[in-house]
Amino acid sequence: MTTATDSYEQDFHAWTQQQATLLKAGRLDELDSEHLAEELESMGGSERQALSSRLIELLLHLLKWTYQPERRGSRWVHSINKQRIGIDVLLEESPSLQAQLSLRFDKAYQKARRYAVVDTRFPIATFPEICPFTLEQVLDPEFWPV
């Protein structure tokens, strides 16, 4: 007899379908509660990671836009817009992530700053230690640093 735990370890997709069926049927006592809770927690972590990743990429391109004006082009415009839209979508789908923005902003900037050094080959001192943009500016589709 295959248990829910066996299914989880052998065929994750089948396990998810089984758990959904049990949940919809109200057969809560048959759920693999331990693994189900772990997967739900993991999903929340993935959303927070996606938010951080998009913030880092957005800040990186805003820094390059600011400090390499001669290299501005459609690829950077596309990347900046893509990240802003991606953040909007994440926040629409998970409004509770809004609180994570300000918590993750400074750390995301520090990482973007380090990536900017690698991408531009400029010294770290080129980029301010504190983000030169506000969170509101970064997310504003009309904001383009000069």
Q: What is the mean pLDDT of each run of 10 residues along the chain (146 residues)?
A: 70 89 93 89 84 98 98 96 97 92 96 98 98 98 96
State percent of the chain over pLDDT 70. 96
- For residue 2, what pLDDT is reported? 59
**Number of residues written out for the chain:** 146
In whole angstroms, what separates CA 92 from the centre of its chain? 13
pLDDT tens for 40-70 read 887 778 889 999 999 999 999 999 999 999 9
* pTM score, whole prediction: 0.79
Per-residue burial over 118-135, b if 16 or more Cβ lie within 10 Å, else e, is eebeeeeeebeeebebeb
SS (H, E, C) 89-111: HHHHHCHHHHHHHHHHHHHHHHH
User: What integer pLDDT is reported at residue 39 of this predicted model?
Assistant: 84
Each domain of the chain, given as residue ranges in start order, spans 46-139
Residue 52, CA distances (Å) to 18, 25, 39, 59 in order: 32, 37, 20, 10
